[in-house]
Chain A
Amino acid sequence: MNRRVLVMFAVLAIIALGLAFYALHLKRKVARDEQLAAQQLALAPPANGPPTPVTLYVASDSDGTLRRTQVNVTLPPERTERARAVLRALLGQYLQSSSPHPIGAGADVRDVYLLGDDTAIVDTNAAFADAHPSGVLAEELTVASMVVTLNANDTKIGRVKILVNGQERETLAGHADLRRFYEASNIGQVVKDLQ
């Protein structure tokens, strides 16, 4: 093999190496941007207008409890949008670095639909379920806090079903049943036990 071929081979190898590093850099950048965008999405104020006090039931892993708290959130006038804003405020609490019940980064509520007057279908994104900590109590705390928080801010909502990316999923992260409709009255009993 003469010198020119060796030089050509070396140049090709350097170019390939450079492209590999650049591709890796781009991949990391996209992942970072997506994560940042998702976090900002969940924490962003949903609408214009004066902030309204909303009731949140916030879970705590250390003692396995739900604590009632109030925060001020700017709520849109439409009922499903209001429900989504309330749930986003709840998930926002869980996404903070000091959260007593951390959930996966990027978790968000994509939409809330109403079936009739009393049934809410909550469509979450994939990060909500895929990155949720696995455990019976940890998953139950998340589901219970979402159901009772919705009911506390819109008492007509008595049944809640949670979807992931528009699809029904068997469990949240291996434990809590997501195939069923949750009755706020039944969850109320759980919440009493958890308080």
Chain B
Amino acid sequence: MPLSGRRSRLALAIVAGSALLFAALWGRHAIVHAQSVAQNQLTVYSPQTSYSVPLLDVNGQPYAGLVELLEPLGSVDARADGKKYKLHFTPPGGRPLELQFTEGKNKGKVRGNGYKLPANFVVQNGRGYVPLSVTSDLIAKLLATDTELHPAPRRLFIGNVQVRYTLELHKDNPSRLLLGFSSPVNPSIATEPGRVRLTFRHEPIVSSVGENVPYSDPLITGVTFSEHDGLAELDVTGTAPMMANFADGGRTIIITGAPAPAPVAQAAPAPLPPAPANTQNPAPQPRQPATPRFLVLIDPAHGGGDIGAAITPSLPEKDVVLALARRVQHELANRGIAASLLRNSDVAITLDQRATSANAARPALYIALHAANTGQGVHVFTALLPAATLSPQGFLPWDTAQAAYLELSGSVAGSVAAELESRKLPNTTLLAPLRPMNNIAAPAIAVEIAPPAGTVDEIASAAYQDQVAQSIAAGIAAVRAKLPEVRP
């Protein structure tokens, strides 16, 4: 049937309309995807730990993942069943508390009571998200403690963790500004002419003396406090180059004038005048070598788009090992051993980046954590490398850096296996061709947990993970004396 001109135009309009509709739908999908990639982060400070939670942008509003938010604070069991989302949160030493929400609805239940969200609940890839603005109230209800959210800079304080500071200007020559903190701090420090910037990524620093403090001083002209992107900054401005020194075990930072640079070219050095017996401005002391310390670096494998093994369709390896890593860190802290996590949120890190970061941290021991749904029990691995007599003091080949530490790594693996055995956890000790373990210039082991006898889901159970974490921590504590402390 031939189409008249008017009908042709109508048919074309229908086709074009359909195409536009498809394009709009496809475009919307693409926008959601792009937003989920470009995540911001919420920094959470709790009495036990500080951690980051990736934020999802939904229609211009930041949302936080419930599992990522609550997991470092206790045991979490979450399930999405169609549009229904249920989460059981068990605080340490407490009983399970239930949260229920429905995708696309703003009403839910927390601990059996009705709870209204300021915007609809979101489920994406089986994970539940709530608006950032309610995270503080939710945690307060679950932990029965005070919380404080700074929404714009994305910082959440749980309990009375805030670290406050005082400012004390000493008008010596040159002037000295003493920043006193209520707890030891370890900011990163950046200096440029007339400015020193202290960035606090892990410390819950809050302003206690006003955001801008001006000084009428020939050297130091003011201090500005700011917080943004999950961190806090103290910006000290001045009229000349300045430097920062730590004192009082990290509780005090002293800002003062930097010494003038020595002349570059001199025919012959002029004799120095004798130093005065007592001076108010002592010459800068040579830097003392850092004190050796014993640090265990825990590397929860995978993260971000690299989910690792799918333990169950809704339980990726990356989540299981992050939860286990936090438990191991806690158990090590209980035994007086400092430990840090190579990743403390759902971020992607390449194998080479992991090795580079681990070697830069100069740990006394590196542990990679993995999980699998095949086999049973716990597998403890050391690197599969040919025996080599490399000097740890010299340069090490990247691909076989671990070879110099195999003996110590084997001792740690044996000790952890013995602790697993004593807790009647099935275990195997093996060599494995596992990266980035081969590239680690420190004693290193990898631990892979498989489900205990029972269902695969039990791999994420608090009881099982606690037993494994205790075994790992006890095994490390037992051989601590053998492992050398390292200067940072």
Residue of B nearest to A178 (CB): B433
Identify the stretch in B116-124, B152-160, B210-218, B306-314 within 8 Å (CB) of chain A at 4 or more residues: B306-314
Q: Report chain B residues within 8 Å CB of A190.
A: 384, 430-432
Number of interface residues of A (CB under 8 A): 34
Q: Which of A12, A134, A136, A179 lies in contact with B432, CB distance below 8 A? A: A136
Q: Which of B7, B370, B385 lies in contact with A136, CB distance below 8 A? A: B370
Complex: A175 Cα to B371 Cα, angstroms:
11
Complex: A133 Cα to B448 Cα, angstroms:
14
Number of interface residues of B (CB under 8 A): 36
Asked whether, in the complex, the Cβ of A64 is within 8 Å of the Cβ of B431, the reply is: no
Asked whether, in the complex, the Cβ of B374 is within 8 Å of the Cβ of A135, the reply is: yes
Query: What's the minimum C-beta distance from B123 to chain A, rounded to whole angstroms?
Result: 25
- Asked if A182 CB lies within 8 Å of chain B CBs, one says yes
Asked whether, in the complex, the Cβ of A176 is within 8 Å of the Cβ of B379, the reply is: no
Asked whether, in the complex, the Cβ of A186 is within 8 Å of the Cβ of B374, the reply is: no
Complex: A194 Cα to B428 Cα, angstroms:
9
Q: Report chain A residues within 8 Å CB of B201.
A: none
Query: What's the minimum C-beta distance from A160 to chain B, rounded to whole angstroms?
Result: 11
Q: A177-B433, A180-B433, A193-B430 are in contact. Are A137 and B7 (CB under 8 A)?
A: no
Q: Report chain A residues within 8 Å CB of B376.
A: 62
Complex: A175 Cα to B450 Cα, angstroms:
15
Complex: A175 Cα to B432 Cα, angstroms:
9
Complex: A135 Cα to B448 Cα, angstroms:
8
A50-91 interface mask toward B, CB cutoff 8 Å, 1 = contact, 0 = none? Answer: 000000000001111000000000000000000000000000
B353-378 interface mask toward A, CB cutoff 8 Å, 1 = contact, 0 = none? Answer: 00000000000000000101111100
Asked whether, in the complex, the Cβ of B7 is within 8 Å of the Cβ of A5, the reply is: yes
Complex: A170 Cα to B399 Cα, angstroms:
13
Asked whether, in the complex, the Cβ of A61 is within 8 Å of the Cβ of B375, the reply is: yes
- Asked if B415 CB lies within 8 Å of chain A CBs, one says no
Q: Report chain B residues within 8 Å CB of A122.
A: none
Asked whether, in the complex, the Cβ of A137 is within 8 Å of the Cβ of B438, the reply is: no
Q: Report chain B residues within 8 Å CB of A187.
A: 384
Query: What's the minimum C-beta distance from A64 to chain B, rounded to whole angstroms?
Result: 5
Query: What's the minimum C-beta distance from B39 to chain A, rounded to whole angstroms?
Result: 22
Residue of A nearest to B400 (CB): A180
Asked whether, in the complex, the Cβ of A170 is within 8 Å of the Cβ of B431, the reply is: no
Query: What's the minimum C-beta distance from A31 to chain B, rounded to whole angstroms?
Result: 20
Complex: A61 Cα to B306 Cα, angstroms:
23
Q: A174-B306, A174-B309 are in contact. Are A186 and B375 (CB under 8 A)?
A: no
Q: Report chain B residues within 8 Å CB of A4.
A: 7
Q: Which of A8, A140, A173, A193 lies in contact with B7, CB distance below 8 A? A: A8
- Asked if B11 CB lies within 8 Å of chain A CBs, one says yes
Complex: A12 Cα to B370 Cα, angstroms:
54
Asked whether, in the complex, the Cβ of B399 is within 8 Å of the Cβ of A180, the reply is: yes
- Asked if A21 CB lies within 8 Å of chain B CBs, one says no
A-B contact count (CB 8 A): 97
Q: Report chain B residues within 8 Å CB of A134.
A: 308-310, 317, 372
- Asked if B417 CB lies within 8 Å of chain A CBs, one says no
Q: Report chain A residues within 8 Å CB of B23.
A: none
Complex: A186 Cα to B14 Cα, angstroms:
68
- Asked if B446 CB lies within 8 Å of chain A CBs, one says yes
Complex: A140 Cα to B379 Cα, angstroms:
12
Asked whether, in the complex, the Cβ of B435 is within 8 Å of the Cβ of A170, the reply is: yes
- Asked if A171 CB lies within 8 Å of chain B CBs, one says yes
Query: What's the minimum C-beta distance from B202 to chain A, rounded to whole angstroms?
Result: 29
Asked whether, in the complex, the Cβ of B14 is within 8 Å of the Cβ of A183, the reply is: no
Query: What's the minimum C-beta distance from A82 to chain B, rounded to whole angstroms?
Result: 26
Asked whether, in the complex, the Cβ of B372 is within 8 Å of the Cβ of A140, the reply is: no
A132-163 interface mask toward B, CB cutoff 8 Å, 1 = contact, 0 = none? Answer: 01111110100100000000000000000000
Asked whether, in the complex, the Cβ of A170 is within 8 Å of the Cβ of B351, the reply is: yes
- Asked if B249 CB lies within 8 Å of chain A CBs, one says no
- Asked if A189 CB lies within 8 Å of chain B CBs, one says yes
Complex: A65 Cα to B434 Cα, angstroms:
18
CB-CB contacts below 8 Å: B205-251 with A: none
Q: Report chain A residues within 8 Å CB of B93.
A: none
Asked whether, in the complex, the Cβ of B438 is within 8 Å of the Cβ of A177, the reply is: yes
Query: What's the minimum C-beta distance from B352 to chain A, rounded to whole angstroms?
Result: 9
Asked whether, in the complex, the Cβ of A174 is within 8 Å of the Cβ of B308, the reply is: yes
Q: Which of B351, B372, B385, B399 lies in contact with A135, CB distance below 8 A? A: B372
Q: Report chain A residues within 8 Å CB of B101.
A: none
Q: A8-B11, A170-B351, A189-B431 are in contact. Are A133 and B379 (CB under 8 A)?
A: no
- Asked if A22 CB lies within 8 Å of chain B CBs, one says no
CB-CB contacts below 8 Å: B441-465 with A: 446, 448, 450
Q: A12-B11, A61-B375, A64-B375 are in contact. Are A137 and B430 (CB under 8 A)?
A: yes
Q: A176-B433, A186-B384, A190-B431 are in contact. Are A137 and B309 (CB under 8 A)?
A: no
- Asked if B381 CB lies within 8 Å of chain A CBs, one says yes
Complex: A157 Cα to B148 Cα, angstroms:
65
- Asked if B286 CB lies within 8 Å of chain A CBs, one says no
Complex: A177 Cα to B438 Cα, angstroms:
10
Which of B306, B375, B448 is most buried by chain A, counting CB atoms within 10 A of its CB? B375
Q: Report chain B residues within 8 Å CB of A176.
A: 432-434
Which of B11, B308, B309, B317 is most buried by chain A, counting CB atoms within 10 A of its CB? B309
Q: Which of A63, A137, A189 lies in contact with B372, CB distance below 8 A? A: A137
Q: A174-B302, A175-B434, A189-B431 are in contact. Are A133 and B11 (CB under 8 A)?
A: no
Query: What's the minimum C-beta distance from A52 to chain B, rounded to whole angstroms?
Result: 30
- Asked if B386 CB lies within 8 Å of chain A CBs, one says yes
Complex: A176 Cα to B351 Cα, angstroms:
12
Query: What's the minimum C-beta distance from A79 to chain B, rounded to whole angstroms?
Result: 26
Q: Report chain A residues within 8 Å CB of B58.
A: none
Query: What's the minimum C-beta distance from B112 to chain A, rounded to whole angstroms?
Result: 39
Q: Report chain A residues within 8 Å CB of B11.
A: 8, 12
B1-14 interface mask toward A, CB cutoff 8 Å, 1 = contact, 0 = none? Answer: 00000010011001
Ranked 3 nearest A-B pairs via Cβ: A135-B372, A134-B309, A61-B374
Known: A9-B14, A136-B370, A136-B379. 13 other contacts (CB 8 A): A4-B7, A5-B7, A8-B11, A133-B372, A135-B309, A137-B430, A140-B432, A143-B433, A177-B438, A180-B433, A186-B386, A190-B384, A193-B430
A-B contacts, 5 of them at CB < 8 A, read A63-B375, A133-B374, A135-B370, A175-B432, A193-B428
